[in-house]
């Protein structure tokens, strides 16, 4: 009998380089470049043409906060969690003003005709307050804004953090502020017991609206437990449910990304598409191998049976776009469900699949084969399709229970 070591180190490359100390990132693709905005004094702006190398190119605000902020939000030090959107011929930059743990908060807006700082038309213009929240008066906390668009191109603002969760309201496309003729505020998601839900982001794909949120504890360095969850709805106003059909108003949510290896507390994601229509997810995390320092990652975002999954950190090769010539997939891989502890599996040369059992012995458990850019695993009575990274280093998908299945090449 051939022995094996059951546990396996996880696959957690960083990949993105340059100025990547970005908290609460949001990004937009414009004419061959991606512009990224994040929490920080004056709202820093980063730019990349390859989604790998990032450079700080400027700031949105002339000072740490707009002139009107200190009187409205006592103690505010710098803006949080910006979001960028383009509509009505201008770029709209929404951002949060608050102090930690407080419900006295506001969402502000700045606009610009271009994101190119070399253009003579480049000028951020303060548009003031969009929405605010007051203790003992409002059921929400007015932070973490995101602009979403419905099937007609109508902009909406989704926001919220803790308290009663996530809310949505229609925007006036001309002003970028709530539409006066429609005062309806929609309640989209809540965790009635745990409370820890924030950072909403809505996109539309394949007939559904997907509401991404972050659960649990942010901002605790390597001890952070932040994770990205999602639900979907046929209407932008809800109801949103998870893979099991549980309402997000009742704490439901399907896992998209959580901590593993050196990646601690990944969350507060943004979603964007490049010029080829490929989806990406950007998020921050705390580096467990670098003193818990805050860093940013970009990941491919794929849709599997109507639900999103993310790849490993993007390095210029997008999964599903064809495999490299002469690729050999036989050998030992790590295998995990929902970012849990990985175990070793072996893809045999004859198409068989072995698993390193609890007694440290390789056991034949199933079969595998490749179809196009997908790896089909038959493991016991389960069968799952995984999208392969072109270099054959990792694959990702979901099983019939909606769990994230990850596979990564290793040794031994």
Catalytic residue set: 24, 198
- How far is 312 from 308, CA to CA, in rounded Å? 14
Residue 374 burial (CB count, 10 A): 17
Residue 395 burial (CB count, 10 A): 26
- Beta carbons of 268 and 206 less than 8 angstroms apart: no
- Beta carbons of 124 and 112 less than 8 angstroms apart: yes
Instruction: Determine which helix (DSSP H) or strand (DSSP E) holds 18, and give its type and residue range.
Output: strand 17-18
- Burial degree of 411 (CB within 10 A; 0-12, 13-18, 19+): exposed
Q: Is the dihedral of CA 75, 81, 84, 88 positive or negative?
A: negative
- How far is 231 from 28, CA to CA, in rounded Å? 22
- How far is 366 from 20, CA to CA, in rounded Å? 42
- Burial degree of 245 (CB within 10 A; 0-12, 13-18, 19+): exposed
Cβ neighbours of residue 250 closer than 8 Å, sequence gap 6 or more:
190, 192
């Amino acid at each position: 009998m051939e022995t094996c070591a059951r546990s396996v180190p996880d696959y957690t490359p960083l990949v993105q380089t340059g100025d990547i100390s970005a908290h609460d990132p949001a990004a937009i693709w414009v004419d061959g470049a991606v512009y990224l905005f994040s929490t920080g004094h004056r709202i820093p702006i980063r730019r990349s043409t390859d989604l790998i190398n990032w450079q700080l190119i400027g700031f949105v605000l002339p000072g740490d906060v707009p002139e009107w902020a200190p009187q409205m939000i006592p103690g505010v030090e710098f803006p949080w969690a910006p979001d960028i959107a383009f509509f009505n011929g201008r770029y709209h930059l929404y951002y949060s003003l608050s102090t930690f743990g407080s419900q006295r908060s506001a969402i502000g807006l700045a606009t610009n005709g271009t994101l190119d700082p070399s253009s003579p038309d480049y000028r951020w213009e303060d548009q003031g307050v969009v929405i605010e929240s007051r203790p003992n008066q409002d059921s929400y906390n007015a932070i973490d804004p995101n602009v979403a668009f419905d099937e007609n191109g109508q902009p909406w603002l989704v926001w919220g953090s803790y308290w009663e969760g996530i809310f949505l309201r229609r925007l006036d496309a001309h002003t970028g502020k709530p539409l006066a003729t429609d005062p309806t505020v929609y309640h989209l998601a809540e965790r009635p017991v745990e409370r820890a839900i924030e950072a909403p982001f809505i996109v539309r794909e394949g007939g559904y609206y997907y509401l991404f949120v972050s659960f649990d504890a942010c901002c605790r360095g390597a001890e952070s437990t932040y994770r990205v969850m999602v639900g979907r709805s046929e209407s932008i106003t809800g109801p949103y449910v998870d893979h099991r059909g549980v309402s997000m108003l009742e704490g439901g949510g399907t896992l998209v990304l959580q901590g593993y290896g050196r990646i601690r507390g990944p969350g507060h994601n943004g979603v964007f598409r490049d010029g080829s229509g490929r989806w990406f997810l950007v998020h921050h995390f705390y580096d467990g191998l670098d003193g818990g320092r805050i860093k940013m990652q970009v990941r491919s975002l794929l849709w599997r049976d109507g639900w999103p999954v993310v790849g490993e950190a993007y390095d210029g090769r997008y999964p599903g776009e064809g495999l490299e010539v002469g690729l050999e997939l036989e050998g030992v891989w790590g295998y995990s469900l929902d970012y849990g502890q990985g175990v070793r599996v072996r893809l045999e040369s004859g198409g068989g699949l072995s698993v390193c059992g609890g007694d440290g012995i390789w056991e034949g458990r199933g079969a595998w084969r490749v179809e196009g850019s997908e790896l089909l695993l038959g493991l016991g009575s389960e069968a799952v399709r995984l999208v392969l990274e072109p270099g054959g280093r990792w694959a990702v998908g979901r099983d019939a229970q909606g769990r994230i299945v990850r596979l990564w090449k290793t040794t031994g």
